[in-house]
Structure 1
Amino acid sequence: MSTSTGATGTDITTDSVRELLSDSKVFPGLPDDLDEDAELVLDSLGLVWLLHVVEERYGLVVEPSDEDIAGLTSLRRLTGYLRTAQKGGARDDA
């Protein structure tokens, strides 16, 4: 995982990631109340858009490896990945 952080002071939360995924033009078919453990499949365009919005909103530049991308299979895992990146790469297993 390669990251660069900006100082926005706003933490990434499950609800904020759920909100980002609620854009039906980019993520058609995802429910607004997406369960944290429901299977999540991000195509490359959706992932690029999501990472762009994360950079715009949080000042966080994330360049996930192929291994990282393969692990982004649920809202919970995606949120955990982004929170870990936001904290400078320190694991957030809580």
Structure 2
Amino acid sequence: MIITKSGGAYMNKKYLTNIMLNHKKYSDEEREILLQLQSALLEWNIAKESFQFVSDPKLIDLIICKEDEAKSKYLYFLSLAKSHNITVDPSMMLEQLNAAGKW
């Protein structure tokens, strides 16, 4: 599915995830790991973006906890995917580098 916006086009992430999962033969367990990995990455990105919208110190502390939780969850499922020898889409690795400030 290509979605055109302001004269440009981009691919829907959910659609790309479905293509990735359906293109290669994954077991149900491997699919679940990849879906959880994608979900954790989304949670991590949302938490990072939330800092823009809060100024209350208590909310900032909450967002820091949410970001740490999502990052830990992402790294857990990434290591689980590696231990199962599941190849991860390169764009997910680029997003990890970007999120870590290394890209």
What TM-score results when the alignment is normalised by the length of structure 2?
0.27
Higher relative contact order (CA 8 A, sep 6+): 1
Whose helix proportion is higher, 1 or 2? 2
